[in-house]
Structure 1
């Protein structure tokens, strides 16, 4: 083969919004794209890794968006929530409003590209998970860069996991995370196992950021096709790692050794998700290690879902089923 041929060359083209998804999902894709066809999120440029003030300004800007989303979620939530400090970790503990089995717990890890998504959004997310699963939820508001680089976020997660283990049997605990939270959730499992801690009943990974080296196929194929996450997050990854090896399993859990033990896992992504390769590769690795695993890939779904379309509700139902099944709670509350 000619050395100059390093891949498939694509002609300039427009990738249409597909008719194979719900009207609500099509509308969500359209809202995320400008009149020129460029995803609106592609207009945002990440600061240089060394630009502390630039990152702080970005976080402040993003917090406005996250706060607005959190207010919408909180307005729909029924669970009460209490914020506590456990050593260095901030935790939002959400309790269902109706009667619930007190011997089960869900640990929730928020997304936000490793640098955003905490505070009010994390708090509202804990309430949402408590409502969805009908059990107490611990939303970990982990510390983030540029003030708190790796391993401080993972340290916070481990602190809370040990605290939860003191109160619940490991077989009654489920850990879940979306995007960057999926990275931390999987890293928690690997580190807990390495430290000799018991593993939880199950793991839920939603469009997880499992490979900070960004080596998968979808990082190229779905670039700009993913209207939510249209390009690389390498500046965020380098900021988070602060010089640590991005391929280390505690930073990129995709490269962990799953033969030493891992809980049953629920994986989700979409055909337009920049992180699709993360979920697909993780699924294969877990299958090879004979770990029970489910992979749910949704048609044309970008990173993070369609924000309220029927497909999102279907995904929520699948997660609820999986969690109840792994906790031995049966099909209903």
Structure 2
């Protein structure tokens, strides 16, 4: 029996000579998502798309154009239904999509949504659609921060944009009525925004939501080895994108890798999520322990067999969203 046929008969990811099977411990929908993300030979489909060198900006621009369209379509496909008015404006150098639901669960508060995409992708329509979905889910106004991205705008442009929008939000609503949330690279920027706001003497938000956060650009954690290839969404490291974003700055600096920050009294209560197959699982685990050692209230939610960014429209994703909504509402009630 050939190895490729064996991989096809045992759906899963091929790692060396092993097949890591799709587990029966997750929902049928999640099982199907994992199977669909892997080719007949056991290779994750996303592993077929290599990132350009950090020294090839034109190749990054081409990849960004294609990826942004893909991201937007994916968010539209699994977006929630509901009446939302979306207005696009400028705050400083950042484009901001302000999504306001017709029925608000809380008045006079805001959720700042920082999109993912390895600091490069996820701009434009994808960011706008994400803001709309978040506004529906939380029942509050949402600012989708369409921050500037490399290769044209490397670090610290994105962080500057996020801080400028945060300053605007707390001036309008008060810091205790603001929650910041981000997925993947957006989680990095959410945490880095809180750190920089503290360094500059600004008030802290009511809560912080970090979904599979990309908070260690040095990629030093255990899961960068253990979950390499097993994570069908991020089968390969993101070092080319990290270097493109950092633009020569030290990857270990807390504004680039906020996992390495020194945390402080008054740090906002924090929601952290990951999955057992997430390439960034170590980021979540290490951050949670660091926050707890500092006496900070932090919840860690780890989902069975979930890859980076979730399964995409399964019962597990719905359960995660329910948890986030509960956290945000509790944070705003305090």
The two structures share one fold, judged by TM-score above 0.5: yes
Q: Tell me which residue corresponds to 1:43.
A: 48
Q: Deviations over 1:118-173 (max 9, x none)?
A: 11110011111111111100110000000000000000001101110111111111
Higher alpha-carbon deviation: 103-112 or 63-72: 63-72
1:59 pairs with 64, 70, 82, which one?
A: 64
Q: Distance in 2 between matches of 1:100 and 1:16?
A: 42
Q: Give the drift of 1:214.
A: 0.3
Q: Tell me which residue corresponds to 1:172.
A: 177
What secondary structure does 1:209 align onto? coil
Q: Give the drift of 1:227.
A: 0.3
Q: Tell me which residue corresponds to 1:181.
A: 186
1:138 pairs with 140, 143, 156, which one?
A: 143
- How does the TM-score come out when normalised to structure 2? 0.93
2:245 pairs with 240, 247, 260, which one?
A: 240
Preserved contact between residue 104 and residue 140 of structure 2 (Cα < 8 Å):
no
Q: Tell me which residue corresponds to 2:205.
A: 200
Q: Name stretches of at least 5 consecutive residues in structure 2 with no aligned partner.
A: 1-14
- How does the TM-score come out when normalised to structure 1? 0.94
Q: Distance in 2 between matches of 1:318 and 1:184?
A: 21
1:257 corresponds to 2:262: yes
Aligned length: 320
Q: Distance in 1 between matches of 2:18 and 2:76?
A: 39
1:224 corresponds to 2:229: yes
1:285 pairs with 283, 287, 290, which one?
A: 290
Task: Give the superposed CA RMSD.
Answer: 1.3
Preserved contact between residue 267 and residue 294 of structure 1 (Cα < 8 Å):
yes
Preserved contact between residue 73 and residue 124 of structure 1 (Cα < 8 Å):
no
Q: Give the drift of 1:236.
A: 0.2
Q: Give the drift of 1:78.
A: 2.5
Q: Give the drift of 1:52.
A: 1.0
CA 1:250 to 1:310, structure 2 compared with 1: closer, same or farther past 3 Å?
A: same
2:132 pairs with 127, 130, 152, which one?
A: 127
1:295 pairs with 292, 300, 318, which one?
A: 300
Q: Tell me which residue corresponds to 2:4.
A: none
Preserved contact between residue 70 and residue 120 of structure 1 (Cα < 8 Å):
no
Q: Deviations over 1:176-215 (max 9, x none)?
A: 0000000000000000000000000100000000100000
Q: Which of structure 1's runs of 4+ aligned residues deviate more than 4 A?
A: none
Q: Distance in 1 between matches of 2:104 and 2:240?
A: 45
2:27 pairs with 14, 22, 41, which one?
A: 22
